[in-house]
Amino acid sequence: MKQRDVWRAYKVPFLFIAPAVLGLLFLHLLPIVQGFWLSMLESNKSTIGQYLHAPFVGLSNYKEILFSSESQVHEGLWDAVRNTLLYTILVTSGTIALGIAGALLVHRNFRGRSVARTLLLFSWIIPSYVVGMLWGFMWQQEEGIINQLLFDRMHFEVITSWFGVVWDFDTFGNLIKPRWLTGDNTIWAIVIPTIWRYWPFAMVMFLAGLSSIPREIYEAAEIDGASKSEQFFHITLPLLRPVIAMIILQGIISNVYSFNIVSMMFGNGAGFPGKHGDLLMPNIFRNSFQMWNFGVGAAMSTLLMTFMIIVVMLWYRRFREEFSND
């Protein structure tokens, strides 16, 4: 069918979807174009009043981000990129692993299954900024419940010393417990609460996926002599691929754009997570709203958006078959 014929044949449907398309264009495309334009302006507190008429500086904001060794934006960027990649990979994989484990657990029939399912959803219903604040207290070296449980109750230092881990002691002979909110450990201080917050979502998705797998497939496998682990790796996992694909996509997007947990954990927005905990979104926020450099902030957002478009395209290419009707 020629293009003109298509238009003629589907004139009415096109007319019906036109408002939605225009709405989407207005809601999505316009801000993107505006953000891209802003990234080429010298938009700071002296010029913000001029908004989109601020002085045009071309690609100099991009140059500052990517190449200016003197600029604090450039210096902090690579730490944030490294941390965000690590954070996204760890959180997404952790969420998927725990989600599958949880789903397999509550998929079985046992007494109190409904109560267990409801209770396991608990961490998901807590707002992420509350999670950030709560875990900020929980991670503290002496007063925090995590170190108290690990070292005062479970004597984790003794268990780990069997495997050759060496711990430091102060001059009074007291164990120096790990500091989670400073130094290299910071990345774990933000990864673990994020997994804790989001794994129930993955569990619910996997539970839906598991319910849709026909029981007969497992029965046939059992007759053929497949063990439980073989059933898991050759039936369950392959049939859960569409769900895994969705959770990977959701995980990548929400973790790359993660802000609340890291922002609230370090001094209710006051603190800086440090070189090992700074993520891209808090970094962009700082450059835009604390440094008043909206042009640079918009340029960073544009770069991030471009990167995310490529990632989503790669994701689609990888998982395209899972969502095709054929």
Partner 1 sequence: MLIRFIILGCVFLLGGCKTDTPRQQTRLSVWVLPNFPDPQRDMEKLVKGFELENPGIDVEITVLDWGSAWTKITTAATAQNGPDLLQLGSTWTAAVTEMGALVSLDSVLQSVGGEDLFVEAGMESARPRASDSVTSLPWFMDVRPLFYRKDVLAAVHINPDSIRTWSNFTAALTRIRNQRPIIEGSLVMPFGYPGKNDWNVIHNMAPWIWGAGGDFLDSTATQSAIGRPESIQGILFYLSFVREGFNEVRNLEKSTAQVSADFDEGRLAFWLDATTKTIYLDRPQFLGGTGKSAAARNYACMMPPTSPTGNARYFVGGSNLAIFKFSKHKRESMKLLEYLVSRPDVQLQMSRASGYLPALKATYDMPYFRENPNRMVFLKMVRQGQPYPSVHYWGEIETSILSRRFGNIFDLVTAAKPGEWPEDRIIEEIKATDQEISHYIRQQLEHTPGLKERLLYWRRGHK
Among 36, 37, 66, 76, which residue sits at the site for partner 1 (rule: CB under 8 A)?
Answer: 76
Among 130, 290, 309, 314, which residue sits at the site for partner 1 (rule: CB under 8 A)?
Answer: 290
What x-and-dash track marks residues 107-146 binding partner 1 by CB under 8 A? -----------------------------x--xxxxx---
Residue 119 tokens, joined: 């209770």
Is 92:195 a contact under the CB 8 Å cutoff?
no
**Residue 186 CB, nearest approach to partner 1 (Å):** 8
Dihedral angle over CA of 30, 252, 257, 202, nearest 10: 110
- Is 176 one of the binding residues for partner 1 (CB under 8 A)? yes
Q: Which residues contact 31 (CB under 8 A, 6 or more apart)?
A: none
- Is 179 one of the binding residues for partner 1 (CB under 8 A)? yes
Among 122, 153, 164, 168, which residue sits at the site for partner 1 (rule: CB under 8 A)?
Answer: 168
- Is 182 one of the binding residues for partner 1 (CB under 8 A)? yes
- Is 152 one of the binding residues for partner 1 (CB under 8 A)? no
Q: What does the DSSP 8-state code read for residue 226?
A: -
For 160-218, the DSSP string reads HHTTT----B-TTS-B-PPPSSSGGGHHHHHHHHHHHHHHHHHHHHHHHHHHTS-HHHH
- Is 171 one of the binding residues for partner 1 (CB under 8 A)? yes
Among 202, 258, 266, 300, which residue sits at the site for partner 1 (rule: CB under 8 A)?
Answer: 266
State the CB neighbour count (10 A cutoff) for residue 159. Answer: 11
Is 44:293 a contact under the CB 8 Å cutoff?
yes
Sites of contact with partner 1 (CB under 8 A): 42, 44-49, 51, 70-72, 75-76, 136, 139-143, 168-171, 176, 179, 181-184, 266-272, 274-275, 286, 289-292
